[in-house]
Amino acid sequence: MNKKNILVTGGAGFIGANFVHHCLAEKIGLIVNLDKLTYAGNYQNLERLAYNADHVFVRGDIADQSLVQSLLDEYQPGAIVNFAAESHVDRSITGPDDFIQTNVVGTFHLIEAALQYWKGLSANDRSAFRFLHVSTDEVYGTLQKDDPAFMETTAYAPNSPYSASKAASDHLVRAYHHTYGLPTLTTNCSNNYGPYQFPEKLIPLVIHNALKGIEIPVYGDGSNIRDWLYVTDHCRAISAVLDAGQPGSVYNIGGNSEKTNLEVVHTICAILDQRVPREENLSYDALITFVTDRPGHDYRYAINASKIRREIGWRPQETFETGMAKTVKWYIDHAAWVENVTTGNYQKWIQTNYGQRT
Ligand code: NAD
Ligand code: TYD
């Protein structure tokens, strides 16, 4: 086994691509990046790595167990970090099949290949190997305004097909540790934002629509609350858990930055008002449009991140204000990226999701 090599899955998506860039900047070792390149995976996110000898990109499916097995045999990684997933709640409502296939069946085949590989390692390598599964706070369900934030011990209560499929995958990972002794780690993180996020999720969608001068759709009354974390802080947390996490453990990761959706949207509009003023000094706020709510919409997510802070020493470096300023700037500066990902199938999705909302 080469302890420095990591098999990253889903590394062409939003968080995965940020993690790959983070690892290569830190010169951690060889990154083998397995990604199916679904609508959410974008090779452009990795283009500047085309000549980087520490990055190997493989287009493929985590559910293809023989492909995963052959990559493990060839590159002998010391860790697998699993980002690959269908990740958008609204898509899971209109079409849950892909969520079950990738998040549940795919994770099963990936971890089964990992187990077979791990069993063939020497005793030392077996204890050094890690399977890190990247998951979400949404598995814990929803909170009321004054409920305490989610802890690692909070009971699972997923409410959407997305969170149910992630919960199922978390349970598989737990079982592979408990039953076979595979050295697993699970991280449950709050909402991320930052560069390379596909503009179907709230923050990049709002920036995109505002800059186009089209309606900014806010579900319901905009009072739902999310705990926002800048993506680079999430990547640092994953690296820290890989290095210092206890096998079989779960770590909650969050930004300690709860905002209503309306607060998020107003923040983006205020930054844009400063950076790209509209004609006649109209505010971007004028584009906000309240639309039919998401079915089963979770009211509030909040993470208690005291375990990872106490045991591993991780804490976020960005505040919501600094992270949002960087994010809005990134989208303004990368208009060509946005243009490329918002053509073709993207238009069909916008019609499917927003066409029927009033
Ligand atoms: P994303 O949708 O942007 O990217 C997912 C990536 O996985 C894409 O590159 C896609 O091509 C790839 N993929 C999908 N199915 C695959 C398959 N069968 N085989 C191989 N690759 C496949 O998602 P993201 O926002 O970057 O999220 C990454 C992970 O982090 C997910 O597991 C998600 O549940 C979790 N997570 C996300 C957030 C968030 O706010 N975005 C928060 C907490 C946890
Ligand atoms: P999203 O980015 O889809 O993340 P998640 O549902 O996984 O938390 O949505 C964040 C919040 O923003 C969520 O409460 C739903 C809301 N939302 C809107 O109000 N309008 C939109 O167009 C989208 C995509 C989301």
In this prediction, residue 348 carries a pLDDT of 87
Q: Whose CA is nearest to atom 14 of ligand 2?
A: 224
133: alpha, beta or left, given left = phi > 0 and alpha = psi -120 to 50?
beta
Q: Closest Cα partner for 164 from 139, 147, 146, 197?
A: 139
Under the banding of pLDDT at 50, 70 and 90, the label for residue 173 is: very high
Q: How far away, in angstroms, is 53 Cα from ligand 2 center?
A: 38
| DSSP helix/strand/coil, 142 | coil
Q: Per the domain annotation, does 24 fall within a domain?
A: yes
pLDDT above 90 for 358: no
Is the pLDDT score of 189 beyond 90? yes
Band of residue 135 on the pLDDT scale cut at 50, 70, 90? very high
Kindly state whether residue 310 falls inside one of the protein's structural domains.
Answer: yes
Q: Is residue 90 part of a domain?
A: yes
Ligand 2: centre distance to CA 11 (Å)? 22
Q: Which domain holds residue 41?
A: 2-197+229-256+299-317
* CA within 13 Å, CB half, 5: 16
With respect to residue 252, please indicate whether it lies within any of the assigned structural domains: yes
Average pLDDT of span 122-132: 98
Q: What is the atom index within ligand 1 of the atom nearest the CA of 41?
A: 9
178 Cα: distance to centroid of ligand 2 (angstroms): 35
Q: Out of 162, 196, 251, 301, which one is annotated catalytic? A: 162
**pLDDT (mean) for 328-338:** 97
Helix, strand, or coil (residue 120): coil
pLDDT at 356: 84
Alpha-carbon torsion (255, 261, 263, 264), positive or negative: positive
Q: What is residue 18's predicted lDDT score, i.e. its pLDDT? A: 98
Question: How confident is the model over 206-220, as pLDDT tens digits?
Answer: 999 999 999 999 999
Strands 216-219 and 55-59, sheet pairing: unpaired
Pocket flag, ligand 2, residue 236 (CB < 6 Å): no
Confidence class for position 345, pLDDT limits 50, 70, 90 = confident
pLDDT in tens, 254-308: 999 999 999 999 999 999 999 999 988 899 999 999 999 999 999 999 999 999 9
Alpha helices in the chain (DSSP H): 14-25, 65-75, 89-94, 97-99, 107-119, 123-128, 161-180, 202-212, 231-244, 261-275, 306-312, 320-333, 335-341, 345-354
Residue 302: name the closest of 135, 141, 81 by CA. Answer: 141
Nearest ligand, CA of residue 166?
1
Residue 344 lies in a domain: no
pLDDT at residue 241 greater than cutoff 90 = yes
Tokens representing 32 are 């083998």
Cβ of 205 closer than 6 Å to ligand 2, yes or no, is yes
Model confidence at 344: pLDDT above 90: no
- d(Cα 177, Cα 78) in Å, to the nearest integer? 17
Name the 3-class secondary structure at 79.
strand
Q: For this structure, is 137 an active site residue?
A: yes
Question: What is the reported pLDDT for 280?
Answer: 87
Mean pLDDT of the 153-179 span: 98
pLDDT at 37: 96
Contact (CB, 8 A) for 243 and 305 = no
Averaged pLDDT for residues 193-203: 98
CATH number at residue 17: 3.40.50.720
Would 14 be classed as within a structural domain?
yes
Say if CB 45 and CB 6 are below 8 A apart: no
The mean predicted confidence, pLDDT, of the chain is: 97
In a domain? residue 346: no
Domain annotation covers residue 162: yes
Based on the residue annotation, tell me whether 26 is a catalytic residue of this protein.
no
Mean pLDDT of 131-147: 98
pTM assigned to the model = 0.98
Q: What is the pLDDT of residues 80-114, one digit of tens each?
A: 999 999 999 999 999 999 999 999 999 999 999 99
Q: Could you give the number of structural domains in the chain?
A: 1
pLDDT of residue 347: 86
Residue 4 pLDDT: 93
Are residues 69 and 113 in contact, defined by beta-carbon separation less than 8 angstroms?
yes
What share of the chain has pLDDT > 90, as a percent?
95
